[in-house]
Amino acid sequence: MTKSSLLLIYTGGTIGMKHDAEEQTLKPFDFRQILEEVPELLKFALKVDTYTFDPLIDSSDIEAKHWIELAQLLKEKYDQYDGFIILHGTDTMAYTASALSFMLDGLSKPVILTGSQLPIGVARTDGKENLISSVEIASAKDNDGHPLVPEVCIYFDSLLMRGNRCIKVNADIFAAFQSPNFPPLAKAGINIKYYEEYIRKPLDWYQSLSINTKLDTRVGILKIHPGITKEAVKYFLEISHHRAIILETYGAGNAPMKEWFIQLIKEANMSGKILLNVTQCLAGKVDMNIYANGKALSKCGVINGYDSTTESALAKLFYLMGKTEDNEWVKTMLIRNLKGEISK
Ligand code: ASP
C-alpha cells in the first residue's frame, strides 16, 4: 500500500514563528525543517511535503490575490496529494476558508486551515496540537478509501468546523474560532469523533478539481449602529466603486425605520447595487418578515443573507460577481446554499 501524502502550505502567521535567541524576537522558521520542530509528525505513516509562501504574510495583509495563489497551487498539486493543510494567520483565516470553499469546485479531498495563538516554537504552544490533529484528520479515510472530510475546514482547539461557517471570536484564548450556526464536523478528544451527518461529500469522488479565480472585490460592509448618521450612510452607499454592500444589521435583520435611511437604501437598490442583509449577531439568522423594520428593508430590494457569516457573505459576493456583471443573477445565487454556507 502506498503511503498517504499531504501538502503543508505555510502562508504566514503566528504558528510558524520561533524564538530567535540571538535577536530576542519571534521569527518565521524554515518550514522545510518542520519535522525538527514537530517530530511527532514522524509517528504518522505519511509523506508530508511543505510549500512556503514567499513572501510570508501576516494574515491581516491577505487579499484576493493570495486566495487566487492558493487556489492555483491546490489545483496544480491536487493529484499528487491526498490532502492539504494550510497554515494561516488567525486574523483572516475565516475569510480565506470561506473564499476557498467557493473557489474550489469538485473538491473531493480535505483542505484544512489551521494556525495558532502561540507560535509553534514556544513551550506552551497550541500550534502543535492544531497541526498534529489537522494532519490526522486530513489523512483519515473511510472503509472505501475515501477521505473522511472532503471539505474546506478550519481546525482549531479540538474542533473541526466548516470553513465558511467560522468566525474568529477570541483574540486571547486558544479557542479562537467558533461555528455558531453549524455543528462541528469533528471533535478531537481521546479519539477524533467525526459527525458524518454534517460532512459534505462530493457526488463524484473521481471528478477533477476546477477553480474559480475571477473574483470581483467591489464590496463594502456597512455596520448599522445607534447614532449612525444620514451623511455617513449616504456617503457609503454612494461610493461608486461598490457594486455590492453587505448591511450588518441588528438581530433578525433589522435597521432603523427613519425615512431618510429607507430612502437611501431604496436609492442604492434603484441605482443597481446589490444589498445583502447579514446579522451582526454571532448566531441566528436574518428573517425580514418578523419585524416591520426588517420588512421595510426587504421591500427596498435588500437580499436575505440568512445565517451567513459576514466573512462568508463577502467571499460569496467576490465569487459570484467575478462570474458575471449581471447583478440579478448574483442576487438569485446569493439566496442559494452553494457550499453549505447557509442553512436553507
Ligand atoms: N496577525 C497574525 C495573523 O493573522 C495573528 C495570527 O497568526 O494568529 O497572521
One DSSP character per residue, 49-63 reads EEEE-SS---GGG--
- pLDDT for res 2: 64
| Partner residues linked to 10 by β-bridges | 52, 87
Determine if ligand 1 sits within 6 Å of the CB of residue 89: yes
Q: Which ligand 1 atom sits nearest the alpha carbon of residue 90?
A: 8
310 is catalytic: no
Distance 183 CA to ligand 1 centre (A): 25
pLDDT digits (tens, 9 = 90+) for 77-107: 999 999 999 999 999 999 999 999 999 999 9
Determine if ligand 1 sits within 6 Å of the CB of residue 90: yes
114 within 8 A of 156, measured Cβ to Cβ: yes
Distance 227 CA to ligand 1 centre (A): 32
- pLDDT for res 89: 96
Determine if ligand 1 sits within 6 Å of the CB of residue 157: no
Residue type, 338: L
Q: Give percent of the chain above pLDDT 70.
A: 99
The stretch 172-186 carries a mean pLDDT of 98
The stretch 273-297 carries a mean pLDDT of 93
Cell (9 digits) for 46: 505519511
Residue type, 284: G
pLDDT tops 90 at residue 17: no
pLDDT digits (tens, 9 = 90+) for 121-137: 888 999 999 999 999 99
Determine if ligand 1 sits within 6 Å of the CB of residue 196: no
Pocket test for ligand 1, best of 26, 58, 87, 88 (most atoms within 8 A of CB): 58
Determine if ligand 1 sits within 6 Å of the CB of residue 337: no
User: Closest residue (by CA) to atom 8 of ligand 1?
Assistant: 90
State the pTM of this model: 0.96
Long-range interactions of 322-330: CB distance < 8 A, separation 24+: 322/212, 322/214, 322/215, 322/216, 323/212, 323/214, 327/243, 327/244, 327/272, 327/273, 327/274, 330/244, 330/274
Q: Which ligand 1 atom sits nearest the alpha carbon of residue 92?
A: 4
